[in-house]
Structure 1
Amino acid sequence: MARSVVKCTNCGKPNRLSPTAEGVPRCANCHQLLPWVVDAGQEDFDAEVTASVPVLVDMWAPWCMPCKQVTPLLENVARTNSGRLKLVKLNVDNAPDIAARFGVQGIPTLLVIRNGNEVDRLVGAAPQPQIEGWLEQHLPDGMRVGNAR
Structure 2
Amino acid sequence: MLSYPIDLNGETFKDIIEKSPIPILIDFWAVWCGPCKSFAPIFTNAAKKFGKKVIFCKVNTDAEPTLASQYQIRSIPTLIAFKNGIETNRVSGALPPLQLEGLINSLLY
Distance in 1 between residues matched to 2:7 and 2:64, nearest whole Å: 12
Give, in whole Å, the separation in 2 of the partners of 1:130 and 1:106.
18
Of 62, 70, 74, which aligns to 2:31? 62
Partner of residue 111, structure 1: 80
Query: Taking every aligned residue pair, what percent have the same amino acid on both sides?
Result: 34
Deviations 1:79-122 (A, max 9, x none): 11131000110001111111111111000000101111110011
Instruction: State the Cα distance separating 1:78 from its structure 2 match.
Output: 0.9
Q: Which structure has the highest helix share of the two?
A: 2
Contact map agreement 2:4 2:44 (CA 8 A) in 1: no
Alignment of 1:1-149 (within 5 A): 25=1, 34-35=2-3, 37-49=5-17, 50-140=19-109
Q: Distance in 2 between matches of 1:82 and 1:42?
A: 23
Secondary structure of 1:133's counterpart equals helix
Gaps of 5+ in 2: none
- Greater radius of gyration (CA): 1
Q: Which runs of 4+ in 1 moved over 4 A?
A: none
Q: How many residues align?
A: 108
Structure 1 pair 47–36 and aligned structure 2 pair: CA distance change class (3 A): farther
> Of the two structures, which has the highest relative contact order with CA contacts closer than 8 Å and spacing of 6 or more?
2
Partner of 2:63: helix, strand, or coil? Answer: coil
For 1:77 and 1:61, the matched residues in 2 are separated by 19
3-state DSSP of counterpart to 1:137: helix
CA distance in 1, matches of 2:63, 2:51: 27
